[in-house]
Amino acid sequence: MIRYHDEEWGEPAHDDRKLFEFLVLDAFQAGLSWRTILYRREAFRKAFAGFDARKVARFDQDRIAALMADEGIIRNGLKIKAAVINAQAFLAVQKEFGSFDRYIWQFTGGKTLQTRCRTTDDIRATSPESDAMSADLKKRGFKFVGSTICYAFMQAAGMINDHLVSCFRHRQVGRS
């Protein structure tokens, strides 16, 4: 958890595979702790073809059934099916915009939104930007992309800097 916080969380991500990984993992986090997901991250990576959206988009019922039996991941049928649907929608967005990165960063104007959170109580669960992202993703057929999940995605992908102002990472993240 410390390494993830210190080296990855909130670092601006522009690689489509990494963005797809966050999309999948944040959807699986719904109703669970991030710790639960993070500790299973390698199992998720293996189960979801290294987060290759092209491969995941082709998962059939047999592959979904195998994932339901995989004790290394969260075995939630709705979330597993959503990952496949989201991979298909992800590819459609890539085709339309040239990359998922170009599409998703439009919700923050292409920059990391800086917050001034002094305590964890100051950190919000949603924002106008995550509301807009959620609505647009849903229109495009994505599943498990409510505003709270989108906000968590934005935090992980460095679209919003919710490191506390007292944290050394707050000064580093999203600054050019």
Residue 169 in domain: no
User: Within a domain: residue 73?
Assistant: yes
pLDDT category, 67, cuts 50, 70, 90? very high
What whole-number distance in Å separates Cα of residue 20 and Cα of residue 174?
20
Can you say which residues are annotated as belonging to the binding site? Answer: 5, 163, 167
H or E segment at 114? strand 113-114
CATH at residue 26 = 1.10.340.30
CB-neighbour burial class of residue 150 (10 A; exposed 0-12, middle 13-18, buried 19+): buried
41 lies in some domain: yes
Region label for 41, one of left (φ > 0), alpha (ψ between -120 and 50) or beta (otherwise): alpha
The reply to whether 86 falls in a domain is yes
pLDDT for 121: 85
Whether 82 is in a domain gets the answer yes
Q: Is the pLDDT of residue 138 over 90?
A: yes
Q: How many domains does the chain have?
A: 1
Q: Which whole number is the average pLDDT over 21-30? A: 96
Closest by CA to 19, choosing from 134, 158, 144, is 158
Would you say residue 176 lies in a domain? no
Q: 3 in a domain, yes or no?
A: no
Sign of the torsion formed by the C-alpha atoms of 119, 125, 131 and 133: positive
Residues 96-115 have a mean pLDDT of 96
Known binding residues for Zn(2+)? 5, 163, 167
- Provide the domain limits for residue 120: 9-161
Give the model's confidence band at 6: pLDDT under 50 very low, under 70 low, under 90 confident, else very high: low
Tokens of 147: 């505003």
Global pTM exceeds 0.75: yes
100 falls within a domain: yes
